[in-house]
Amino acid sequence: MSTLRERLKFEIELSFPDFRKHDTLGPPGLSLSFHNKSCTEWHQEFVARIAGNLGTGQHLPVYRMSDGEYRFALRSSDVHPSSLESFARLLYLRARGLRGAHRSGSPEYGFETYSPDEVKVARETFLQALKAHSREGIMAISLHDTKLVRPYRAVMLDWYDTHDIRVDENNHFHFYSVYVLLHGPDRQMLYNNRRVLVVTSLTPEKKTGIERGLLDAGARSVRFLEISAGKALFDRLDLSGVEPPDLTLVGAGIGSVSVMRQLRPLGSVCIDCGFCLSTLANPDLRFSRPYCVPDSEMDLARVRFLPKGHSV
């Protein structure tokens, strides 16, 4: 069988419907693809897959993978630090005697931390959950040619092949399609009159903000299932008393793939959305990442994700 490097032979320009103003901010990089369809057509297939499964009682998990997941999956020797940020992270761990540890996340929704003694078990848990997920769910992967992702692309394709992770034309969509779905006009289809379950770590303020954001977006009801803040890969969920929702939103970092596997009995569309839970509670955060503000609300002066020195 041919390799992923051989099968992902097309490169398509990222340009999402209702987010065209992002095109003026500079090229987001060509993304590897199994087909020569436009980004619009590819994204619309993703939305149709989600819409077709809502309310059917079928488990459809969507897991996002980008540089944070890549760093966790790979050994440090597989890829070299490609930026001052990643080099600083390496120095931070070494200075504290945590070489071999893993720390990932962001101030917006928290960090995960696995000690050197925990990383081996955590990686095996991650691998087995991802392998199972890839056979029934959607892999929303960053494979576009940007400074952040470029160092990982080739080595991750080999990693998927080596570990028998299914990535093909039927389950592969772009990472940013999740952001566009949850922040663009299609969010009405996603949330309107839906019973929503949110699975994440919680503070009272975070819970209140997320619930308010979902109800304002049209959700019929919002329920919560709390998980640990920093070690979701080790969590074991108790689903007793949890009513099956129409839609489940998961914010568990790299651990989302394991959490979603345990949510299978609930039979719902289940989206790993992390940062998007934070934007429900605080809409201003949308301006800190690409494809979170649709054209109808875009204010280029408020954009905070551009490189230093870039003007709009």
CB contact at 8 A, 269 and 50 = yes
CA-nearest of 4, 282, 302 to 141 is 4
pLDDT at 79: 59
In the structure encoding, which two tokens stand for residue 260, read together?
A: 């979603």
CB neighbours of residue 153 within 10 Å:
19
How do the domains of the chain map onto residue ranges?
4-72+122-302
Q: What is the pTM of this model?
A: 0.90
Would you state the pLDDT for residue 26?
A: 77
Task: State the pLDDT at residue 91.
Answer: 47
Give the Cα separation of 311 and 11 in Å (integer): 27
Query: Mean pLDDT of residues grouped by 10 in the chain (312 residues)?
Result: 94 96 85 96 98 97 95 70 48 49 57 83 96 98 92 95 97 98 98 98 95 98 95 96 97 96 98 96 96 97 79 48
Contact 32, 11 (CB under 8 A): yes
